Amino acid sequence: MAHSSASKLGVAIVTGASSGIGKVYAERLARRGYDLVLVARREDRLRQIAADLADRFQVCTEVLVADLSEQVGVSAVADRISRDRSVSLLVNNAGFSALKPLTETPDDVMVRMIALNVTALTALSKTALVAFKARGSGVLINVGSGAGFAPYPGIPVYGATKAYVYLFTQSLQSEVEATAVRVQLVLPGAVISEGWDVAGGAELDPLPDSIVMTTEDCVDAALAGLDQGELVTAPSLQDASGMRDYEAVAATLLQAMFDGRPAPRYGLRS
């Protein structure tokens, strides 16, 4: 396997680095001294960002143009992770939403959303964990959403893809707990980005400042959470006990489901 990085920290791969949260991740990781591979579909933007970060932070930057809703795009990124030992961090950030009831969501949008938000994230998580475990270290950051906690009107598919990211990423902790590999789940709330236009939700503007966060604050809090060793980071959740309570209730429900007797309320036993 090749070594491509001159940086002591190695190479960070950021998906969805051409705008929004991913663009800020790229900037902050370059600032920390990571070399970068920037992934998205808009090559012009990626090249501009790559040149700017290489210039400002004296790191190596590379552009990998890939549509991650297509298998060929996922394979290109997976290959980059597998064949270069210096890849030490992956941010699975690329994702999109569509603000529509299910019955009005075009089939191709539905399919591409699941392919990007779920399938690509799953495949790249697997590739990264296989590589990082073999290399003895590495950091996987998966970007979910507060929208994965409970149904929210108008985003049935998006919310469900983010519920998947929550459960999937939490499930990976048991696979890395005895290793130096880290997995962090990041759950942004409402963050101002182009993603809202992509979702067709511009009519939501202007949301009150009190509930929306900047991309910079979101990523800075997420990286602070990473530095603090958090497994789950919710930048906008003011009281972290809410997350612990949620996890405790979910774990109790899971245990309670293991019972061979139909519940009395169904009246099957006299």
Ligand X SMILES: NC(=O)c1ccc[n+]([C@@H]2O[C@H](COP(=O)([O-])OP(=O)(O)OC[C@H]3O[C@@H](n4cnc5c(N)ncnc54)[C@H](OP(=O)(O)O)[C@@H]3O)[C@@H](O)[C@H]2O)c1
The residues of the shown chain that bind ligand X, judged by CB under 6 A, are 16-22, 40-42, 66-69, 93-97, 116, 143, 145, 188, 190-191, 193-195, 198
Angle at alpha carbon of residue 188, lines to 141 and 191, rounded to 5°: 125
* Cα separation values, 157 from 50, 117, 160, 189, 260, Å: 32, 10, 5, 17, 32
Angle at alpha carbon of residue 116, lines to 159 and 34, rounded to 5°: 105
Query: In terms of residues, how long is the chain?
Result: 270
> What whole-number distance in Å separates Cα of residue 265 and Cα of residue 270?
11
Within 87-201, strands assigned E span 87-92, 138-143, 181-186, 190-191
Terminal alpha carbon distance of the chain:
66
Name every residue whose Cβ is closer than 8 Å to that of residue 214 and which is 6 or more positions away in sequence: 191, 192
Quote the least distance from Cβ 93 to ligand X, whole Å: 5
Phi, psi of 206 (to 5 degrees): -90, 130
Beta bridge mates, 36: 12, 61
Alpha-carbon Rg of the chain, whole angstroms? 20
158 given a catalytic annotation: yes
H or E segment to which residue 62 belongs: strand 61-65
> What whole-number distance in Å separates Cα of residue 214 and Cα of residue 211?
10
Phi, psi of 159 (to 5 degrees): -55, -40
| C-beta of 38 vs 87, nearer to ligand X | 38
The 3-state DSSP class for residue 40 equals: strand
Q: Which of 34, 158, 164, 166 is catalytic?
A: 158
